[in-house]
């Protein structure tokens, strides 16, 4: 089995990455804890994006996991091990909200 691990899979780049590799026939393991809602407020949540991926991509499975959770990440690697063909890391705090009309900036 060839699995692509995509962190930040519900975000802008992560969701497109998931779709792209799914189209190529690979299984997708998405990791995203909707930290975006914490950064920018509930209106910026990527939860609907996650739901869309789970609905449309038949070989997509999701883990709601904070990538800073070392134990959780190590456990994921133990579980999937050599089945992981590729890791694309996009989970992060972007500098600003990309939604149209939004000019929110983080305060932290
Ligand atoms: N979008 C662009 O045009 C662009 C251009 C250059 C660089 N980047 C960089 O690429 C990265 C991703 O950008 P994006 O536009 O996809 O952002 P995004 O906010 O749309 O997606 C990031 C995703 O990561 C998740 N996330 C954040 N912290 C997490 C954590 N600790 N654990 C698990 N999930 C977490 C968020 O919930 C979100 O769904 C950012 O660092 C951004 O600065 C983006």
Name the token pair of 62.
């999701």
Q: Answer whether 76 contacts ligand 1 (Cβ < 6 A).
A: no
Statement: residue 104 has pLDDT above 90: no
Domain ranges of the chain: 3-89
For ligand 1, atom 21, name the residue with the nearest CA.
Answer: 11
What is the model's pLDDT at position 36? Answer: 95
pTM for this entry: 0.91
Query: Looking at the domain that runs over 3-89, which CATH code has it been given?
Result: 3.40.50.720
Q: Long-range contacts of range 79-84, CB-CB < 8 Å, 24 or more positions apart?
A: 80/3, 80/5, 80/29, 83/1, 83/2, 83/3, 84/3, 84/4, 84/5, 84/29
Helix, strand, coil percentages, rounded to 5, for the chain? 40, 20, 40
Residue 106: other Cβ atoms inside 10 A: 12
Statement: residue 94 has pLDDT above 90: no
Give CA–CA dist 91/12, Å, rounded: 10
| Cα 25 to middle of ligand 1, angstroms | 24
């Amino acid at each position: 089995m060839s699995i692509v691990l995509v962190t930040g899979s519900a975000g802008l780049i992560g969701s497109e990455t998931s779709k792209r590799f799914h189209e190529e026939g690979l299984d997708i393991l998405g990791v995203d804890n909707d930290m975006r809602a914490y950064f920018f407020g509930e209106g910026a949540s990527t939860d609907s994006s996650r739901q869309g991926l789970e609905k449309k991509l038949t070989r997509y499975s999701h883990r709601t996991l904070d990538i800073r959770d070392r134990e959780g990440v190590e456990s994921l690697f133990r579980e999937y091990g050599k089945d992981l063909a590729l890791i694309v890391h996009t989970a992060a705090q972007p500098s600003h909200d990309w939604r149209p009309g939004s000019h929110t900036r983080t305060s932290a």
